[in-house]
Structure 1
Amino acid sequence: MRTKINICMASAALLLMSCDSLNSGGFTLPPQGTGTTGTGTTGKPAGSTGTITQAEANLGVKQALSNGLNESIRVLSLKDGFLGDAAVKILMPEEARKVESALRSVGLGSLCDNFIMSMNRAAESAVKEASSVFIGSLSRMTVNDAFNILLSGQQDAATQFFKRSTSAELATRFSPIIQSAMGKNNVNTYWNQLTTAYNKLPLANKIETDLTAYVTQRAISGLFVKVADQELKIRKNLGGSRDSNILNKVFGWADQQK
């Protein structure tokens, strides 16, 4: 709950900051103005989709992103958030797949399962840290960014914005948390057991993997998969995901531009 409140409050606060300096964007921006209540630039009710103001676009996009981020973080931070979802489940490192195959073939599948579970538990522990990183990214979003996200032909334009602006910081934030969680979940213990058992097999070659870097990157990738899912729901208005007047107005307007 605190994560959700923090992101939503930050989004509202960012909207009240001074107007962004605009870049050339390939489209004509509508006039500035609040427009979030009462009438828009043409006197139409705020619930209509005939026109939107810069402030409405900024608020609508940030509200949509806040909703998607909150839900993605909530789902992935639950037990089995990663482990129970095939789309984001962290599997054995690719270079170690032959280790898994060899050990399962000699009856050591449970050791592989324990190792995979421990990696996913570590990711579930770390994902909550994403909230503060995303708040920082929202603070750097301009009105021009908001319109690019709204009007882009890409269904994951907002997700791509976050990838560009947060991936490096997420890796820095996640890495120590992943490392700590890996210790608590015995990841390295299971990994040592795996490699020890594998190295005893005939013709085995030594396997070396930076597990912290691997689990960190997979956790970040999984987070963006979920953010993209949430973005698509809002763009397509699936399951009533446009659950406010401003979302209906801004994304309804964007629908009409296609």
Structure 2
Amino acid sequence: MKRLLLSFCLGTTVFLSSCDTLKQIGSVLIPSQAEMAAGLKDALTQGLFSGFDAFANPNSGNPLLRFALPGDAAKIEKTLKDIGMTSLLNDVTSKFTNAMTSAVVAAKPIFLNSVKQMSLTDAAGILLTDNNHAATDYFKTAMSPQLMTAFRPIVDSTANLNGASKAWSNLANVYNKIPLVSTKIETNLTNFIAARAIDAMFVSVANEEENIRTKYEFRKTDIMKKVFGYAEQEMKRRKGA
């Protein structure tokens, strides 16, 4: 009887030990799907705040935050400078750069809510990958149309308020009347500016995601430390297998 009881206890211990092994790799606990999704969303949110901070300082030298002419920018810029429109060009660049900044600041809730509303159906697949921008890529694919729809009116409003739209309309009308200019430029840049600002935000998010995946000090929340710590260990284990 004692021998039977001992065998049962040993078997139970082995079983429980096996269960514990399934729940952790090395010293890192395996997060649940819900925890993985929460960690990924925390990373995206942190990336958005990195983008907000960048847009709050548009004169930092980051080319993504500076207004750029649509189409063949270099050709358009040279043509305008050749006919003495440098001052107007500089005015447009300054006003639209400021309009982009104001629009992003005003749209903070839209960007943050888009992360909250996003459904992560395959959190493990997004987390466990060699692609250091996987969550950003998913976010961009899933939420870009909704972001564009919500963000466009804000860009339109800020560009009108600070005079950027009027300045651009004047510049475009001058350019389109230049003899031998075969490709006319649009007189309304709302869609172009909205798309450029959103793309710049995604670049900031992608950069932050890569830092979070590869550098412990960028994991600012407990759930990020757990989720990305696990991902780091699991990817090393897979590569070593």
Q: Evaluate the alpha carbon distance shift between residue 168 and residue 200 of structure 1 in structure 2; reply closer, same or farther with a 3 A threshold.
A: closer
Alpha-carbon contact 2:44-2:135 (below 8 Å) kept: yes
Q: CA deviation at 1:205?
A: 4.3
User: In 2, Cα distance between the equivalents of 1:136 and 1:175?
Assistant: 15
Give me the whole-angstrom Cα distance separating, in 2, the residues matched to 1:228 and 1:151: 16
**Could you state the TM-score of these two structures normalised by the residue count of structure 1?**
0.71
User: Aligned residue for 1:145?
Assistant: 122
In the alignment of these two chains, the number of paired residues is 213
| CA displacement, residues 195-218 of structure 1 (integer Å, 9 cap, x when unaligned) | 344356443346231411111111
Q: Deviations over 1:4-35 (max 9, x none)?
A: xxxxxxxxxxxxxxxxxxxxxxxxxxxxxxxx
Structure 1: which 5+ runs fail to align?
1-40
- Which residue of the other structure, out of 175, 181, 185, is the alignment partner of 2:152? 175
Higher helix share: 2
Letter aligned with residue 226 of structure 1? S
Q: Taking CA–CA contacts closer than 8 Å with sequence separation of 6 or more, which of the two structures ends up with the larger relative contact order?
A: 2
> Residue 170 of structure 2 aligns to which amino acid in structure 1?
Q
Deviations along 1:198-253, whole A, 9 cap, x unmatched?
A: 35644334623141111111111111111111111101116x11133332221111
In the alignment, what sits opposite 1:219? 197
- What is the alpha-carbon root mean square deviation over aligned residues? 2.8
Tell me which residue corresponds to 2:35.
56
Structure ID, larger Rg:
2
C-alpha distance in 2, partners of 1:95/1:117? 19
Does 2:199 correspond to 1:198? Answer: no
Q: Which amino acid aligns with 1:181?
A: T
Structure 1 residues 103 and 234, CA, compared in 2 at 3 Å: closer, same or farther? Answer: same
Q: Out of 127, 134, 137, which is 2:104 matched to?
A: 127
Q: What CA deviation, in whole Å up to 9, does each residue of 1:71-121 have, x standing for no partner? A: 222332x1417x841134330111464332112134432221211222222
Q: The residue matched to 1:257 in structure 2 has which SS?
A: helix
CA contact (8 A) 1:60 1:246 kept: yes
Counterparts of 1:226 and 1:101 in 2: how far apart (Å)?
Answer: 30
Which residue type is aligned with residue 227 of structure 1?
A: V
| Aligned partner of residue 184 in structure 2, secondary structure | coil
Over 3 Å counting, the alpha-carbon distance change for 1:50 and 1:195 in structure 2 is closer
Q: TM-score, normalised by structure 2?
A: 0.76
